[in-house]
Each structure stands twice: as C-alpha cells, then as structure tokens.
Chain A
C-alpha cells in the first residue's frame, strides 16, 4: 500500500520486514530516524525476535554486527559519514570475514570542516572495503534495495551497504509502498550461514593468514563480488515478479537510445538530472542519463555498453579524491577506455550544496557546445577561493581556511539554494 511517509520510516519498516535478528544503533545524522524507528518496533514487540542494542560507538555497532553474524544471526545497522570512518576497521573486517551484514549508509560529507549535509564522500571512502555498494535513486528504491541487499548478502556471504542520500532521501516525505511482509518472506528465505560459531561443530574464524594463502583468500572475495554482477540482475528480475515493480539491478538508462551526450551519476540526483535532460531534449539536444545502482562491484561491461554510442559522457559526482579528481569518473573512464569518448567530470553537491536543475542544464548546454572542461566544480565561487589564496600568499599566519571562507562569505541565514 502506497503511503506518504518519510524515507527513513520506509527503510525502517522494510528492514523490519526482513526480520533482522540483531540490530545495532549508534546515533549519527542523518541515519538516526531509521534506527529510532526500528528500536521502537523492537521495544513494542512488533519486531520479534530481535535484539536491539544501543552501542557506544559505530566501531562497536559494526563489531557487534560481526559477532552476531558470525554466530548465525541476521544483522543490520546504519551509519553515515564520520560514523562510517569510525567503524572502518570493522567494515573491512566484516567483508574480509565474509559476513552478510546489511548496513544503510545515509550519505553525508566527511569533515573537516564538519558538515552534516549530503554528499558521497563516505561511500567513496569505503569503496575498496569489499562491501557491495548499492545506491538508491528514490525512497521507494531505498526501501526495496534493503530486501535485495539481505538476499544478495546471504547468497554470496558478503556484506552489503545500501547508500541513500542523507536528508535528501532520508528526511524526504513521499509516497512509498513498503514491501509486503508475505512478499518479503517469499523473496527472502531465513539466513543459512556458510560459516557459523557452533559449540557442536567448533571452528576457528578469523585466524591469521600468511603470504602463502592471503592472495587466494582475497581473490576469492573478488570472485564473489564478480558473482554479484551475475546475481544482481537475476534478483532484480525476481524482485519485479514478486513485488510488481522494478528495483535494484546494475545500471539504469534513461533516454540513451539516440543520445550523443550521456550523464552518469549515483543516487537521488538522478531525478533532477532527468528533469534537466527532458528540458534539454525539448530544445533538441540528444542527451540521456545512465544511473549506476550497483557501484561495487562496478558493472564495467554494462557501463561500457550503455555508453558505447555516446560521443560525450558527463559524470556528475558528489565526491572527489583530493589531489586526484572524480572517483566515479575514474571508474567510468576505465570502463570506456577503448572508446573515443570525451569524458567530463562535474563535481557537484559537496557538503549539501544544492544541485539545481538550472545549473545542470547549463552544464549540458556547455557540453553539447563543446565548452565543458574535463573537470568542473559546479557552482564554485571562485572569488571566495581567490580571496583565500591571496591571504595564504601574503600572510604566514593566514589562519584556518574554512573559517576565513565563511568570514569572506558573510552571514548566510537559511540559504535556500
């Protein structure tokens, strides 16, 4: 039944219908509403049996999840930003141990400077951790991806991170059809672990592995991730037949059939991009969009095929590697290295900066007229940057850049755009 509810609520109810047995909670914005709602369901007895554990840190949240999963329980937690970094050692560990934990990442920028708003820096920081990373475009998809995530995780014995844009999705109220309990039960069988701590059949998990076997163990993890590339479309198709709507999959193309310019992006910004694309198509520009749902493992073949006929690809990304450039752009470049495509990287939406349709249309306009640079920072205020650069050049003790920039900018109360 379609209901007008907050994205976090939709995810919480969906996760509950996946019958997690151990849920760990540590508060960090913007994921808190998810974990609060699940906590209430457990306390009220609506989600049972389930152990809801208020832990003392994100490091503990992932560690408790590791213990629970290794002991055969379906484990879930959620985090964001600094929280993901704080648990990062355990994030890698969960993947290395091959434990099918599902975690929501309510995407948020990473400080310093401290910033609670949305971008994809956190997900990108974890891209090499060995987790499957799925990105939601809408709140419906965010909810649905969790059902797929548990199934995928447990079939492959790999952890899955469901990335949904913090605030933009987590705090948005819109229509969501929370997957029906019977459908979820039909789609998601109970967890049968590949490895489990069992006093009746004692095994050692997490033993030291030396140079003689480490490569093989790592390669096996890689193979399982590659298996996910085959399994994800199969599960997406099963999901569609069970739930009556499309969700998940590797990538999704929009208006790409005749497109000479294709925009590639992750997450909720795809919606605004599609509006911008419609607008440009109305003006006669042959533009299209490829949304990447499965970011890790990276679907090289699908991306290559989807972009095969494009002359120009614009990667809009909400994160970048300082001193390097766009992270997603590098993956797309790698997928299309043998094609004669002009690749442009547009870094946008950092720390919650609004990505407006107006700015996107300007980017598309620049692109089709050959004016777009290889790397663009969308809506960058160059005057502010130059001012701070000048301060650094002329003063030894120029002070903290972040505070200087704020000072130059002046008071901005309730900035809208």
Chain B
C-alpha cells in the first residue's frame, strides 16, 4: 500500500460528487494529492483563510511545473497574489518568479518568452498570472497584444470578481447586483449594474488563440488537466479560473470550494474549453440548482434577500444562468453546439 506511506493531503470537497483521490489509480490522481508535488506557492504566505486564489495558483502552477518538468518561469501582475506571496525574504515562491507592474504581466511574459527563444532555451515555458483587474481591466491592452502576436505564454486569470487587494472595488469582471466598495448595496438598483462587464474567455477566443479554458478551484482534476493540456501547446493560451474570495464575497472561509462549485452548478460560471476559437468541451452540470443557493451564502448579495428581498433581481440573475446553460449546452442532455456556431460564424 504505497498510499499509506505518503503524507496525507487535506481537501475540503464540500458537497462534492467527485470520487476521492484515494480510490483512484496513482496515475489518475491529482498533482495535489502527490506529497512530492512541487509546492510552487509554498505554505506560510499571507493569504486570508479560505483564499480561492492561493488554492488556484498552487494548483495551476504545480500542474504546470509537472507538465514542464520544472522548466517554468512565472510572471505575476500586482494584486493580492503578489502581495500575499511576498514580501521578501519570506517569498512563498519556489519557482523562478518575476513581478513588475499591475497592468503589464502579459507583456513582461512576452519578454521572458522572447529571451528563452533567443537563447535557445525552448524547454523553459512561461506562465503569466493576474487577478481579474490585472486581466480584464488594466492589463487588457497588454493581454490582447500578447494574444494577437500569439506569444508563447499561458496566461492565467484568477477571477475573484473585484479588486480585492485594494479593498473590494468593482472590476470589469464584477457580476451584476454584487456589492463592492464602489457599487454599494444602496438605492433602487443596489450593487453592480446589469449589462456591463467583460466576458474575458470569449474575448480571448475571439483572438483565435490555440487554447482557452475556464475552471474553478472546485474541480481539481479538471483544472489540472487543463493546465497540463495548455502546457502541451505553444503560442498564446488563456486559462480563466474562478477563485472565490471569502473577504470580498462575504462567504465563509470553509465554503470556498462549495461556492465555486455552486457557481458552476447554477450555470453562472460556465466551465468549458475552446481550441482555435471554437468550444470543444463543456463541464456538464451534474446537479442543477437555482442561483439562490449560490447568491444567498454570499454577503455581497445579501441585499437581494434582506427583508422582503428582491426577487426581481434574483430572477434576472437566474435568467443569466439559464442563458449560459442554453448557450454552452451545460445540461447533460444538451449538445454543446450553440456557441460553436456563434463563434465560427
């Protein structure tokens, strides 16, 4: 029993339908279940309890480290991840890691990749990472340029749907009705407005890059597989990972995985992958649930349920989820055809 000799790794798979790692063949188990995993982002960092981004970053980079045989350089935008993982000399990064600015991680990564190419170090691969602000807002110009040039970089967005590092302000990835410090839950239309925001994965797809995928920290196998697959490809690639933020979302620290799973199971966060601009696979919803189950455990949506509540707004959010389900064919019986046609048209 090899398994007994290994250091146990704890997971909180609340509400999971997943088969536990211990029941799988060793070769089918996650990178994270391996006590010999690299721990690219080591323990001791200063993230909040239950931080989804810390989980997402370690999952993604450990998978990338395994996929590249440790030949990895990571570029980091300014943001929570950068701040809580340093300051020096208490850096939690065990990989070659560079932080320059908030809005330039894609371009810095382009430079690193260019240096590797010019030096003939083709086995060294480059990952750039940023939060949603560093991706869809301030970093968008550089990201679009990196995509358009098809530079050899995997860009990972850890999406917690607001500027958490500066105290929970709205970003272009903040969902409608969500309370942030700059979209307070006051007035007739409390929280963030409807009809705004960027659908970053589809914007990435529109660049025609080789690989675009979404994932959540709730499905470790899926996330790691996508990183693994992305690292087999060259050119610009994009991975958008939903990482709940207990502080900004007002969810319990122990519920991070649960909240992420509900985002997927309600249809609010479609989990899919696309190659060369065409959706090639979706993670089906295994237990469809209403958006209330997702919204009601987050204080950023508390105003939708206080007093007599705002069923009208909840209904609009439900409609968004339903639209995603139809668009991506997220139910078991659906064929994932709609988006394919739309994108290729």
Contact = CB atoms under 8 A, between A and B. Distances in A.
B111 A199 contact: no
Given A21-B115, A71-B116, A197 B73 contact: yes
A275 interface: no
* Residue from A54, A199, A205 having most chain B Cβ neighbours under 10 A: A199
A22 B111 contact: yes
Given A21-B118, A53-B111, A202-B93, 10 more contacts: A49-B118, A53-B114, A53-B149, A63-B142, A64-B111, A66-B100, A67-B110, A68-B112, A72-B119, A203-B97
A47 to B, nearest CB: 11
A65 B111 contact: yes
Interface stretch (A10-18, A206-214, A243-251, A367-375): A206-214
Contact of A202 (B82, B86, B94, B99): B94
A72 B118 CA distance: 10
Contacts of A210: 87
Nearest to B124: A199
Contacts of A51: 114-115, 117-118
Nearest to A21: B118
Interface residues of B, number: 44
B70 interface: yes
A256 B272 CA distance: 74
A83 to B, nearest CB: 14
Interface in A32-58: 49-51, 53-57
B148 interface: yes
Interface string B208-233: 00000000000000000000000000
B156 interface: no
Given A64-B110, A208-B82, A71 B115 contact: yes
A56 B111 contact: no
B73 A59 contact: no
B104 A60 contact: yes
Nearest to A202: B96
A55 B72 contact: no
Contacts of B148: 56
B88 interface: yes
A198 B88 CA distance: 18
Contacts of A60: 104, 107, 110, 141-142, 145
A93 interface: yes
Interface in B77-98: 82-83, 86-88, 91, 93-98
* Residue from B94, B101, B124, B149 having most chain A Cβ neighbours under 10 A: B101
A59 B142 contact: yes
B75 interface: yes
Contacts of B107: 55, 59-60, 63-64, 67
A67 B75 contact: yes
B114 A56 contact: no
Contacts of B119: 21, 49, 72-73
B144 interface: yes
Given A59-B104, A93-B100, A207 B141 contact: no
Interface residues of A, number: 42
Contact of B111 (A54, A69, A198, A201): A69
A63 B76 CA distance: 12
Interface string A85-96: 000011001000
Contacts of A90: 100-101, 104
B176 to A, nearest CB: 30
Given A57-B141, A199-B73, A205 B95 contact: no
A136 interface: no
Interface of B: 70-73, 75-76, 82-83, 86-88, 91, 93-101, 103-104, 107-120, 124, 141-142, 144-145, 148-149
A75 interface: yes
Contacts of B96: 197-199, 201-203
Contacts of B88: 204, 207-209
Contacts of A209: 87-88
A97 interface: yes
B70 A199 contact: yes
A270 interface: no
Given A21-B119, A73-B118, A205-B98, A66 B145 contact: no
Contacts of B87: 207-210
B86 A207 contact: yes
B130 to A, nearest CB: 13
Contacts of B110: 53, 55, 60, 63-64, 67
Contacts of B118: 21-22, 49-51, 73
Contacts of A24: 111
Ranked nearest first, the 10 interchain pairs of A and B with the lowest CB-CB distance are A67-B111, A56-B145, A206-B99, A207-B86, A71-B115, A63-B107, A63-B104, A73-B115, A68-B111, A67-B108
16 contacts: A53-B110, A53-B149, A59-B103, A64-B108, A64-B114, A67-B114, A67-B115, A68-B114, A68-B115, A72-B115, A75-B111, A90-B101, A93-B101, A197-B98, A201-B96, A207-B88
A70 interface: yes
A208 B108 contact: no
Nearest to A87: B104
Interface in A125-156: none
Contact of A207 (B72, B91, B101): B91
A57 B145 contact: yes
Contact of B109 (A56, A67, A201, A202): A67
Contacts of B98: 67, 70, 197, 204-206
A40 B207 CA distance: 27
B218 to A, nearest CB: 29
A303 to B, nearest CB: 35
Contacts of A55: 107, 110, 145
B316 to A, nearest CB: 36
Nearest to B68: A199
A205 B104 contact: no
Given A50-B118, A51-B118, A63 B112 contact: no
Contacts of A63: 100-101, 104, 107-108, 110-111, 142
Contacts of A21: 114-115, 118-119
Contact of B95 (A22, A199, A208): A199
Contacts of A204: 86, 88, 91, 93, 97-99
Contacts of B71: 199
A59 B120 CA distance: 26
Given A53-B149, A72-B119, A197-B73, A208 B83 contact: yes
A71 B76 CA distance: 14
B104 to A, nearest CB: 4
B112 A197 contact: yes
B223 to A, nearest CB: 22
Contacts of A64: 107-108, 110-111, 114
